[in-house]
Structure 1
Amino acid sequence: MTASPRVPRRPASKARTARASRTEIELIWIEQRLEHWIRFGRIAGERILSRKSRVVLFRPDAIIAFVRWSANDYGTVHSRIDILRAVRPGDAYTTVPFVRPGGELLLSIQGWPKVRLCLEAIDQVEAEGLDPCDIAPEHWCHVHNRLSAGQAARAYTVERHQAWLKRRKLEG
């Protein structure tokens, strides 16, 4: 019996490696029926699939707010917002529909009254002059916990943001 010759493995191309490390979210828009959109997040790339759908790409560690809404002839059937951190290859993640591979879930709220409150919390951060992508990820966990318990979330202020930036700098 002869040994088969070893075929050298080809190193992964940089483009393929970069593409594999990105988080993909499928966005859909069917007027008055189904809408998936990004409320905030820095899009790193995009692929158009059809007139009604596209895939947006995010770099690792990007913070993203992904909103899903659907309706029938009688009104809203489902509304949901997920705020997640795009993961790096090898990181643990939570699967989320329409998100590949998934993400670190910071907030997951469903039902229009709570989704509306979450959107207001995002508006409040922007009213402070801050980008919701850049604030402390723990704030979105706080908002999730408070809204889930039926309580009002604390406002995210510029002072709170400065304290988080100092803490992040100390942590390295």
Structure 2
Amino acid sequence: MTGIAASRMRGGPSPAALPHDTLTHVELTWVEKKIENWIRFGTHAHEQILDRRRRVLSFRPGAVFAFVRWASNDFGTIISRIDIVRAVSPGEAYQTLPFVRPGGDILLKIEGWSKVERVLQAIDVIERLGIDPEAVSTDHWRHVHNRLTAGHEPRGYTIERHQAWLKQRECDR
């Protein structure tokens, strides 16, 4: 594979954002049992279907979303990763991330299926509490990242912590 197709497989160029565009664009690819990129949670503002296997979801500044990437070859899984990202405003500092243009504030970055699975389970627990995962405290996602990276169990998110986070956000406005 050469040219544009090869660079896309390596996380290269995707549809470019216009200079006046304030959205964060995430290219999703789905090739059954080969490449499976999806959004676990997050509310997108726009969707563009590129072809049967690829689409681009766009998020407004401040939106929080979970981006899951999994890929395999003939010998097994080659990548299993989840990133929880906050879309940034124009001019705001950000980290780059494959398939995310221009990038975002990475709140959580976990690799390896066993750890990715633990993050997915933590998201499920939050949803069972009746809380939208994108409304969860950004510090909680950083906490989960730090604890799992260190090999420890993260604290669970509670309704009380969520209420405290909402009050803090209200006071910051």
CA distance in 2, matches of 1:19, 1:128: 39
AA at the equivalent of 1:71: S
CA distance in 2, matches of 1:68, 1:128: 26
Query: What's 1:138 paired with?
Result: 139
TM-score w.r.t. length of structure 2: 0.87
Matched-pair identity in %: 56
Question: How far off its partner does 1:171 sit?
Answer: 1.6
Q: Which SS does the other structure have where 1:20 is aligned? A: coil
Residues 94-129 of structure 1 deviation map (CA, whole Å, 9 limit, x = unaligned)? 000000000001000001111011111111111111
CA distance in 1, matches of 2:19, 2:135: 22
Question: How far off its partner does 1:169 sit?
Answer: 1.3
Q: Which SS does the other structure have where 2:157 is aligned? A: coil
Query: What's 2:5 paired with?
Result: none
Residues 10-64 of structure 1 deviation map (CA, whole Å, 9 limit, x = unaligned)? xxxxxx9896100000000001100100000001111111100000110000001
Structure 2 counterparts to residues 122-161 of structure 1, below 5 A: 122-161=123-162
Q: Which SS does the other structure have where 2:37 is aligned? A: strand
Query: What's 1:12 paired with?
Result: none
Query: What's 1:9 paired with?
Result: none
Query: What's 2:13 paired with?
Result: none
Q: Which SS does the other structure have where 1:133 is aligned? A: helix
2:66 pairs with 1:65: yes
Unpaired runs of 5+ in structure 1?
Answer: 1-15
Residues 124-156 of structure 1 deviation map (CA, whole Å, 9 limit, x = unaligned)? 111111000111111100000000001111110
Q: Which SS does the other structure have where 2:146 is aligned? A: helix
CA distance in 2, matches of 1:25, 1:144: 21
Which of 1 and 2 has greater Rg?
1
Unpaired runs of 5+ in structure 2?
Answer: 1-16
Any runs of at least 4 consecutive aligned residues in structure 1 with deviations exceeding 4 A, and if so which?
16-19
Query: What's 1:106 paired with?
Result: 107
The count of corresponding residues between Structure 1 and Structure 2 is: 157
TM-score w.r.t. length of structure 1: 0.88
Query: What's 1:13 paired with?
Result: none
